[in-house]
Amino acid sequence: MVVFRLKISVMTPLQFVGFAASILIGVSLGLIGGGGSILTVPVLVYLLGVNPLLSTTYSLFVVGTTSLVGSVNYMRQHQINYRAALIFSVPSFLGVYLSRSYLLPNIPDPVFSIQTFVLSKSVAIMILFALTMLMASMSMIRNKMPKVHHPGGTLHGNLPLIALDGVLVGILTGLVGAGGGFLIIPALVLMVRLPMKMAVGTSLLIIAANTLIGFWGSTANLNINWPFLIKFTTLSVIGIMAGSFLTRFIPSQSLKKGFGYFVLVMGIYIIARETVF
């Protein structure tokens, strides 16, 4: 008689909340066009127990795949400026490559120590991520963007600023695994003069390209748990499709400010947790 044993993996309540949060990350990306990816690393670290450095790599894949799926809807509506995406992405690729290949691996561990205080590399990454969250939250709370009276994606005269912003976004993406939409969208509106909806769609495509390239450049010396990563990413993709559908019924601008306050509180919590508690 042959006995078959089925191994069932039972999730803890914290893990269940972590995977449920991955859906909400996608929903927020679909509803407000950004911001949700800033929560990926905290969810991976605090709810699912992934190492901070590995979490930034996982986040690149999750954010990249989810943003790519989200950008498809904008492609269908012809709400992506491919020329702006290309000009912004090239210097951004450089920033991602430099930060993942040279800057991040060469950060010492510990970063520094003073008598009894030791700042480890993992804690430094989480504090940097929290500061990024604070910047993103302020961008969402202010939620003020100039109206574009003559849209059309004029790039002449703005190329150096666009390139500089692209490099900075790339470095930030490489260091903390966030998409940087809160920096990309204002740049596309102010410098390229794109209307808001087209800026969001173009931003999603830029984020997808940056983060996926950053991910593949980071996997050489890491042991990737593919079943876990694919499961988390799939839930996030389901979330962004649901969020894109909900935009027909829920005004995204009314949610953005409230979500910004939530991200602000989370950023303060991470800094307090890593430095005080």
Question: What digits encode the pLDDT tens for the residues 225-261?
Answer: 999 999 999 999 998 888 878 877 776 666 777 777 8
Tokens 């910004």: give the residue.
260
For residue 108, whether the previous peptide bond is cis, meaning omega lies within 30 degrees of 0, is no
Residues 180, 214: contact at Cβ < 8 Å? Answer: no
User: Tokens for 97?
Assistant: 């490559």
Question: What digits encode the pLDDT tens for the residues 26-79?
Answer: 887 777 666 666 788 888 988 998 888 888 889 889 988 988 888 888 898 888
Of the candidates 31, 90, 56, the residue with the CA atom closest to the CA atom of residue 178: 56
Distance of alpha carbon 128 from alpha carbon 241, whole angstroms: 30
CB atoms within 10 A of CB 245: 14
> How many angstroms separate the Cα of 68 from the Cα of each of 28, 96, 203, 243?
15, 17, 10, 14
Instruction: Give the pLDDT score at 6.
Output: 43
Instruction: Give the pLDDT score at 143.
Output: 63
Higher pLDDT among residues 64 and 8, named by residue? 64
pTM: 0.80
Q: Supply the angle between the helices 181-190 and 196-216 in degrees, to the nearest 10.
A: 140
